[in-house]
């Protein structure tokens, strides 16, 4: 929806929801939509975990913004 | 019936399994002439869009509803109820996506009010939620909704439906409220409908807790409040609306008390209190426990008026059924009541 | 025997993805956090690190449960106020 209105979007899900996210992408008619995954679960992450995971996510967000979505 | 006809019927049922059209139980194969019979019962064209589900990018048509209702075993005269239930799925007040996709795997309970319940034989009494030969309406209307969730809205277990356990209620869950000799007014009248207008209300529920109590009415309501607010309840922190079904003996006890529905709601509400300290001890709220936490109270629902109280079930047994909501945010989990349009 | 197909399918959307930003420095970033536990903490920390590394500024922090798609008024608010959106965390 965001891409349709002209705003590049990055979506993050936890890894166990890979199939769910892929199914949602298919449902919305963009089956090859690239999204980012991070380890599950989120709810009991410590502050140390959040620091470590966001360090990695920064790199991957930037990479995805540069790579873009499949044509 | 000769062997060929039996084989043909069995092959048709197997074909429905092979097409992944079922809920795990055999379905009635959706032959076109039978689907048309369902459509004729509500005088709808096949491609009429009954409800659009924004979260699924789909407008569910009358034909698809008819096919799934037929597969579930519905009679044509059940179609107005199924259609109203599909409309209720699309309401923002229900919050379809959470109800259908969440880890808690809620049951979606269909409450039917008004004269259509008796007309169609939707059970409001003994063995309210159980199976039986007289339960066709309950069993098949609830099942039709689940087949629509599977086949039309594609809430497929493992991909879009990520329930950890699910519940048996996901196969089917449809009841009528017992409106005869009701201590107060039935749910749809409380919502502003005339008694003669039939309605459907959908409620997402994570679990069903049978509360047994032979004490006085205040003691009984205390145990109901405690059941609504058990420490592991997924609805506890987000305070999604709760529902209580009073069985016959409890309803009569409450009638004899002379208490109004509002007073009963207030009493239940008070008993949904947990201290913040207890919730922290239970790991439901983060952070160290302070002296203030021992005195600070968290109620399981935002206000008494949020409670849905109905009467149903058998007349014997000091039992009521407590139905905590599905979590998520408190504005979702119970649809507005949808009027049933009878032909 | 022919049956009425009881299923529904959505069609493929013909979508043209928006061109990616040519440079990242100074971009306006809108964060949509889905109100699940720790989602806001992760998304806000991620945004802070993007700010430090690339000067990306958070233009909007939206709290949106993952029940329904973005509404028109939410899309309008995003369109006018941001260069990219990062949403999370689906769990």
Domain ranges of chain A: 12-67
CB pair distance less than 8 Å for B30 and C3: yes
Any domain includes C44: yes
Nearest-Cα distance to chain B for A51, in Å, is 19
Residue of C nearest to A51 (CA): C45
For tokens 């207890």, name the residue: B278
The whole-angstrom separation of Cα A35 and Cα B134 is: 50
Residues of chain A found within 8 Å of residue B57, distances taken between Cβ atoms: 27-29
Residues in chain B with CB shorter than 8 Å from the CB of C69 are 54-55
Question: What is residue B4's predicted lDDT score, i.e. its pLDDT?
Answer: 43
- How far is residue C46's CA from residue C51's CA, in Å, rounded to a whole number? 9
What separation in angstroms does the CA of A41 have from each of A46, A53, B16, B102, C86? 11, 12, 37, 15, 19
Whole-angstrom distance, CA of residue B311 vs CA of residue B323: 13
Quick one: pLDDT band at residue B180, thresholds 50, 70, 90?
Answer: very high
pLDDT for res B200 = 98
Per-residue DSSP letter, B135: -
Q: Are strands B107-113 and B58-61 parallel, antiparallel or unpaired?
A: unpaired
- Determine the Cα angle at B95 with ends B340 and B144, to 5°: 50
Tally of domains within chain C: 1
For B104-153, how does the pLDDT look when each residue is reduced to its tens digit (9 = 90+)?
A: 888 999 999 999 999 999 999 999 999 999 999 999 999 999 999 999 99
Q: Give C71's contacts in chain A (Cβ within 8 Å).
A: none
DSSP structural state of residue B318: S
pLDDT of B3:
44
Determine, yes or no, domain membership for C2: no
**Residue at C32 is within a domain:** yes
Say yes or no for a CB contact (<8 Å) between A23 and B162.
no
Place of tokens 């679960």: A41
Q: Which of B57, B67, B328 sits opposite C4 (nearest CB)?
A: B67
Identify the segments of chain C with pLDDT beneath 50: none
Instruction: With respect to residue C13, please indicate whether it lies within any of the assigned structural domains.
Output: no
Cβ <8 Å between A29 and C20: no
Helix (H) or strand (E) holding A62: helix A47-67
Q: Do C67 and B54 touch (CB under 8 A)?
A: no
Whether the pTM exceeds 0.95: the reply is no
Tens-digit pLDDT profile for residues B85-107? 999 999 988 988 888 888 888 89
Of residues B322 and C9, more confidently modeled: B322
DSSP state of B215: S
pLDDT at B69 over 70: yes
Contacts of A58 (CB under 8 A, 6+ apart): C46, C49, C50, C53
Q: Quick check: is C48 in a domain?
A: yes
Residue B114 to residue B342: CA distance in whole angstroms = 12
SS3 B37: helix
Mean per-residue pLDDT, B317-336: 84
Q: Which of A13, A14, A15, A27 is the best residue to mutate to test the B interface, defined by the most B CB atoms within 10 Å of its own CB? A: A27
Q: Looking at chain B, which subunits does it touch, using at least 3 CB pairs closer than 8 Å as the criterion?
A: A, C
| In the block, residue with structure tokens 């058990």 | B230
ipTM of this complex: 0.89
**Structural domain of C55:** 28-88
């Amino acid at each position: 929806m965001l891409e349709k209105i002209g705003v590049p979007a990055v979506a993050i899900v936890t890894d166990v929801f890979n199939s769910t996210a892929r199914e949602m992408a298919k449902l919305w008619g963009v089956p090859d939509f690239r999204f980012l995954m991070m380890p599950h679960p989120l709810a009991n992450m410590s502050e140390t975990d959040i620091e470590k995971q966001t360090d990695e996510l920064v790199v991957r967000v930037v990479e995805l913004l540069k790579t873009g979505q499949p044509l | 019936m000769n062997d060929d006809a039996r084989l043909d019927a069995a092959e048709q049922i197997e074909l429905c399994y092979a097409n992944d059209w079922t809920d795990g139980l055999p379905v009635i194969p959706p032959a076109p002439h039978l689907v048309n019979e369902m459509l004729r019962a509500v005088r709808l064209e096949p491609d009429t869009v009954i409800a659009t589900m924004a979260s699924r990018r789909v407008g569910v048509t009358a034909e698809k509803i008819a096919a799934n209702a037929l597969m579930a075993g519905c009679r044509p005269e059940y179609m107005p109820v199924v259609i109203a239930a599909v409309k209720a799925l699309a309401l923002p007040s229900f919050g379809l996506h959470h109800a259908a996709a969440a880890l808690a795997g809620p049951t979606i309970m269909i409450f039917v009010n008004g004269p259509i319940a008796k007309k169609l034989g939707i059970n409001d009494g003994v063995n309210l939620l159980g199976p039986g030969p007289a339960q066709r309406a309950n069993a098949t209307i609830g099942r039709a909704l689940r087949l629509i969730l599977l086949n039309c809205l594609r809430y497929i277990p493992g991909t879009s439906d990520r329930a950890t356990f699910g519940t048996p209620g996901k196969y089917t869950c449809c009841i009528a409220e017992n409106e005869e000799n009701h201590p107060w007014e039935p749910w749809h009248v409380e919502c502003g409908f005339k008694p003669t207008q039939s309605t459907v209300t959908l409620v997402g529920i994570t679990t069903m807790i049978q509360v047994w109590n032979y004490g006085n009415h205040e003691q009984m309501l205390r145990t109901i409040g405690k059941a609504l607010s058990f420490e592991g309840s997924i609805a506890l922190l987000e305070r999604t609306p709760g529902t209580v079904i009073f069985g016959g003996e409890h309803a009569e006890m409450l009638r004899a008390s002379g208490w109004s529905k509002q007073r009963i709601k207030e009493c239940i509400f008070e008993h949904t209190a947990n201290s913040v300290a207890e919730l922290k001890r239970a790991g439901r709220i983060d952070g160290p426990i302070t002296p203030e936490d021992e005195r600070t109270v968290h109620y399981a629902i935002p206000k008494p008026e949020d409670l849905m109280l109905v009467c149903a079930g058998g007349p014997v047994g000091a039992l009521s059924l407590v139905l905590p909501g599905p979590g998520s945010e408190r504005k979702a989990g119970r649809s507005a009541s949808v009027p049933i349009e009878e032909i | 025997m022919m049956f009425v197909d009881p299923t529904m399918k959505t069609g493929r959307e013909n979508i043209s993805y928006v061109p990616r930003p040519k440079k990242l420095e100074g971009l306006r970033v809108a964060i949509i956090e889905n109100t699940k536990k720790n989602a806001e903490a992760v998304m806000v920390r991620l945004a802070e690190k993007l700010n430090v590394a690339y000067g990306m500024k958070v233009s909007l922090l939206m709290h949106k449960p993952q029940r329904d798609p973005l509404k028109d008024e939410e899309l309008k608010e995003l369109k006018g106020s941001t260069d990219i959106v990062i949403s999370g965390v689906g769990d």
